[in-house]
């Protein structure tokens, strides 16, 4: 029987266990998107994970969603990431950068630019800005000729990620950000080749992934998806058809993995597992939902066919989460007030389990 602590071969990487640290926004970068020494310590503390996926990293300035997030679109940002990847590797870990283009989930106060999106439809809710939450602005609809440039931005950032020492990249195709917006039936009102039908709505995702594979290789490329999540007001119609078609287009590329969030009916997720021939990472918890992933949920999904299991919030307060899971030790609670507070409190101050 497969366990969380079995080795797994992911492309050229041998993972010592099947526990993945899920990407989580922590807004500890500098104002100009540089990774910091504290970030190096944070990720190095968690290097016992089979694989770390970083917080969302903007592939371009217009792709930045929140203030305080790191980027991979300048040489200075590449240089700033190298101590982070070096620290993880020194501690025996493996790390992918999650490439996250916010699309309409952004604000001119953060980037100095009007957000871009498939259509001029604002996100639902308030977005973070340097001076606090503000209503999501109306984005500028991308012209048809501009769309490929946004798709290529993932590939360009992926090249920089490898220059920075990352082992690979994960495209953020989930949670209402740009790729998710193109998949949507209410954020994407386009009538050109990128909107309307299922083949058109998946086109941007396929082009972004294909460009990234061409840039850094399939074994270094993954994608995260959240079928039917409804986050930031993004809605999707025909979820099984939509995501089935997307996986069918991605399958021949030989990606390192698809990372599914449990955001729709289990029957649909199991259908997507059956449709995907490659490695599947599953996060059993709904993003920001009341219940975080625990060992029981992880074991259950391994039994349902997942290859790897990602844990998000549990990794915040438990840098030694893998060992706590292995020994059935208590899982420490995280202080939500410090998630986005900046500074080292609630970031570097959670200890490993103290045996008495």
**Contact yes or no for 223/243 (Cβ under 8 A):** no
User: How far apart are the C-alpha atoms of 32 and 53, rounded to whole Å?
Assistant: 21
In 3D, which of 114, 115, 109, 111 has the Cα closest to residue 130?
109
User: How far apart are the C-alpha atoms of 220 and 323, rounded to whole Å?
Assistant: 27
**Contact yes or no for 312/336 (Cβ under 8 A):** no
Half-sphere exposure of 198 (CA within 13 A, CB side): 14
Q: Which of 42, 43, 154, 177 is catalytic?
A: 177
What Cα–Cα distance (Å) separates residue 163 from each residue in 34, 46, 85? 15, 22, 10
User: How far apart are the C-alpha atoms of 129 and 113, rounded to whole Å?
Assistant: 13
What Cα–Cα distance (Å) separates residue 296 from each residue in 127, 262, 300? 34, 15, 6
Residue entry with tokens 């309409």: 104
Report the run of H or E that residue 269 belongs to, with start and end: helix 266-275
3-class SS at 345?
A: coil
In 3D, which of 137, 166, 171 has the Cα closest to residue 56?
171
Residue 14: phi and psi, rounded to 5, are -100, 110
The DSSP-derived string for 102-156 is -TTS--HHHHSS--EESSS-PPSSEE--TTS-EEPPPPEEPPGGGHHHHHHHHHH
- Beta strand pairing call for 134-135 and 126-127: antiparallel
Active site residue 353: no
Residue 334 CA to its chain's centroid (Å): 20
- Strand-pair partners of 96: 53, 168
Residue entry with tokens 């599953």: 282
By annotation, the residues acting in catalysis are 177
């Amino acid at each position: 029987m497969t366990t969380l602590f079995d080795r797994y071969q992911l492309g050229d990487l041998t993972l010592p266990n099947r526990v993945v640290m899920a990407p989580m926004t922590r807004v500890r970068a500098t104002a100009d998107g540089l990774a910091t020494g504290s970030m190096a310590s944070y990720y190095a503390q968690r290097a016992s994970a089979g694989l770390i996926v970083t917080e969302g990293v903007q592939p371009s300035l217009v792709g930045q969603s929140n203030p305080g997030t790191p980027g991979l679109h300048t040489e200075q940002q590449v240089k700033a990431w190298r101590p982070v990847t070096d620290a993880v590797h020194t501690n025996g870990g493996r790390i992918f950068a999650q490439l996250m283009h916010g699309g309409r989930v952004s604000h001119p106060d953060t980037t100095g630019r009007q957000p871009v999106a498939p259509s001029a439809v604002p996100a639902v809710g308030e977005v973070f800005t340097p001076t606090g939450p503000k209503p999501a602005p109306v984005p500028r609809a991308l012209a048809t000729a501009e769309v490929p440039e946004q798709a290529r931005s993932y590939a360009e950032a992926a090249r920089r990620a490898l220059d920075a020492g990352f082992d690979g990249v994960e495209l953020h195709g989930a949670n209402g950000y740009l790729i998710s917006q193109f998949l949507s039936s209410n954020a994407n009102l386009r009538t050109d080749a990128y909107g309307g039908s299922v083949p058109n709505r998946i086109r941007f995702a396929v082009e972004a992934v294909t460009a990234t594979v061409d840039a850094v290789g399939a074994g270094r490329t993954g994608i995260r998806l959240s079928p039917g999540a409804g986050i930031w007001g993004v809605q999707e119609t025909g979820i099984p058809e939509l995501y089935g078609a997307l996986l069918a287009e991605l399958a021949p590329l030989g990606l390192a993995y698809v990372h599914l969030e449990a955001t729709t009916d289990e029957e649909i997720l199991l259908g997507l597992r059956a449709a995907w021939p490659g490695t599947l990472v599953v996060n059993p918890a709904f993003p920001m939902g009341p219940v975080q992933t625990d060992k029981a949920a992880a074991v259950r999904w391994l039994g349902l066919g997942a290859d790897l299991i990602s844990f998000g919030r549990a990794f915040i307060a438990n840098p030694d989460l893998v060992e706590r899971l292995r020994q059935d030790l208590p899982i420490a609670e995280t202080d939500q007030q410090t998630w986005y507070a900046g500074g080292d409190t609630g970031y570097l101050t959670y200890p490993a389990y103290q045996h008495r």
